[in-house]
């Protein structure tokens, strides 16, 4: 079955279709339509629209962490993060990422990763730059508001340019 299709009993569910409809619902809400008006247009209960908004809400937090790899424009990103007062950043190129893994024993690597996870969990919002798969893993591991900027399909094997204006807009939106 294709990646975006799920069998649930006798039904085949398209995640792509769900994402498209959710995007349309949120677009209508951001244009000022009430939850009731949007619900009527899409044939759902108003409470569904409310719960959808609740599920996707990113708390405007006072503390923010940004992690990302593998990025090509690392220095530009670090300058932007400093300019915007981001509290914690871990930005790596592909070479740095592999050096991080290879220079440690298994126990050292595990301890370093656990230490980083513990530090990052202290922030209200975390922006993750990476593949969709890495973004999902971070969201599950951190169990908090994680916002992703997808820069390629896993596994990403080379440095990718991150759109600085997109990153700036995202940081300003969650701050």
User: What is the biggest distance separating any 2 CA atoms in the chain, rounded to whole angstroms?
Assistant: 58
Question: Pairing state of beta strands 11-14 and 88-91?
Answer: unpaired
Question: Pairing state of beta strands 145-150 and 5-8?
Answer: unpaired
Question: Tens place of pLDDT for every residue, the chain, 175 residues?
Answer: 677 899 999 999 999 999 899 999 999 998 898 999 999 999 999 999 989 988 887 656 679 999 999 999 999 999 999 999 999 999 999 999 999 999 999 999 999 999 999 999 999 999 999 999 999 999 999 988 899 999 999 999 999 999 999 999 999 988 8
Output the DSSP codes for 27-52.
HHHHTT--HHHHHHHHT--HHHHHHH
Cross-strand pairs, 152: none
Q: Give the whole-angstrom CA distance, residue 104 versus residue 112.
A: 9
Q: Does domain 64-174 have CATH number 1.20.1250?
A: no
pLDDT at 61: 64
Cross-strand pairs, 71: 160
Residues 6+ apart with CB under 8 A from 161: 71, 72, 73
pLDDT at 78: 97
Residues 6+ apart with CB under 8 A from 88: 64, 65, 66, 119, 120, 123
Q: Locate all alpha helices (DSSP H) within the chain, ordered by sequence.
A: 15-30, 35-42, 46-56, 74-83, 94-102, 106-120, 132-142, 164-174
Residue 164's CB is within 10 A of a number of other CB atoms, namely 13
Structural domain boundaries of the chain? 5-56, 64-174
């Amino acid at each position: 079955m294709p990646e975006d299709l799920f069998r649930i009993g006798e039904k085949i569910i398209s995640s792509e279709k769900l994402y498209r409809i959710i995007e349309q619902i949120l677009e209508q809400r951001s244009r000022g339509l009430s939850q009731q008006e949007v619900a009527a247009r899409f044939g759902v209960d108003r409470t569904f629209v409310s719960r959808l908004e609740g599920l996707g809400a990113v708390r405007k937090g006072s503390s923010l962490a940004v992690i990302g790899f593998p990025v090509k424009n690392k220095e530009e990103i670090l300058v932007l993060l400093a300019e915007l007062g981001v509290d914690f950043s871990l930005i790596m190129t592909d070479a740095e990422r592999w050096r991080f893994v290879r220079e440690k024993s298994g126990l050292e690597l595990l301890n370093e990763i656990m230490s980083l996870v513990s530090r990052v969990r202290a922030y209200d919002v975390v922006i993750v730059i990476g593949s969709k798969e890495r973004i999902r893993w971070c969201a599950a591991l951190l169990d908090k508001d994680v916002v992703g900027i997808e820069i390629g399909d896993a596994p990403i094997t080379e440095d990718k340019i991150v759109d600085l204006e997109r990153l700036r807009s995202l940081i300003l939106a969650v701050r």
